[in-house]
Amino acid sequence: MSGLVSINAASARVTLYRNVRDFFSSQKIAEVETDLFPLNISALKSPIFQISKQYRDQSIDRRHRTEFSMLQWSQSDWTKDQVLLDLDEFLKAVFSGEFEPERRSLRQAFIQRLGFDPDELTAADLRLEARRLGLNVSLGEDRLAWLKLMFVHFIEPTLGIDIPLYLSDLPSQWRDTQFDGNEKLNTNVDIYIDGIKVGSVLSRDQILNIVFGLDRLLMIILETRQIDKVMDV
């Protein structure tokens, strides 16, 4: 990474973190420094957020690193509808813009992009659709694997191109635990900007939490598809 890119990335990170903290300050949401999130969030009487370094042992690629920065935000009394409204305000504050994020179900995404309803197709049907699209692989009778394959290749890169998009109604096993970790968490909504998943609304024990990959938000801000371009050196 060149020195110029490093300076730009460092400056953008400072601005991003300031905007994030200013937003939470305006909402009277407290920042915590200890890792309260694995604890019983339902016992909290007020909302909290945390910016922290996280680590994973799995392989890396252009969007994943072994060390990354994460924003976590939790409230004990959130409903799904209220979470999305709060997300609207958060994204407007971070990107200093006025927009109305799009909401789309996974089923709608398949219908609009690939022309078929995944709920109506068997694994064999999905294999035929994959081959029609030029994906000649063998995934057997695993419907979810076929859906993920086509999603990653043909749908994900088109999500949130003009405005942020909330992708909802995800199967219970949709999360990529290889990179997202914690198999006990369920994904309610994935948040996409410019074809990149930048965050998720997660649930565990009926408690909703929001997580954002701050490095991925920087990728959007700096208009790069490579996470290495936004990392500290």
- Report H helices in the chain: 3-26, 80-95, 106-114, 123-132, 143-150, 177-180, 214-221
Q: pLDDT value at position 76?
A: 79
How far apart CA 214 and CA 233 sit, in angstroms, is 16
How far apart CA 203 and CA 105 sit, in angstroms, is 17
CATH topology of domain 3-101+165-230: BirA Bifunctional Protein; domain 2 (3.30.930)
Residue 164 tokens, joined: 């942020």
How far apart CA 232 and CA 53 sit, in angstroms, is 12
pTM listed for this prediction = 0.87
| 114 burial level (CB within 10 Å; 0-12, 13-18, 19+) | middle
How far apart CA 55 and CA 69 sit, in angstroms, is 9
Q: pLDDT value at position 57?
A: 65
Residues 6 or more apart in contact with residue 213 via CB below 8 angstroms: 68, 69, 70, 197, 198, 199
Strands 102-105 and 67-74: unpaired
Helical (H) or strand (E) element with 103: strand 102-105
DSSP 64: B
Q: pLDDT value at position 226?
A: 81
Q: pLDDT value at position 65?
A: 58
* Weakly modelled stretches of the chain, pLDDT under 70: 1-7, 34-45, 56-66, 176-183, 232-233
Residue 74 tokens, joined: 């939790």
Helical (H) or strand (E) element with 221: helix 214-221
Tally of CB atoms within 10 A around 164: 25
Q: pLDDT value at position 178?
A: 52
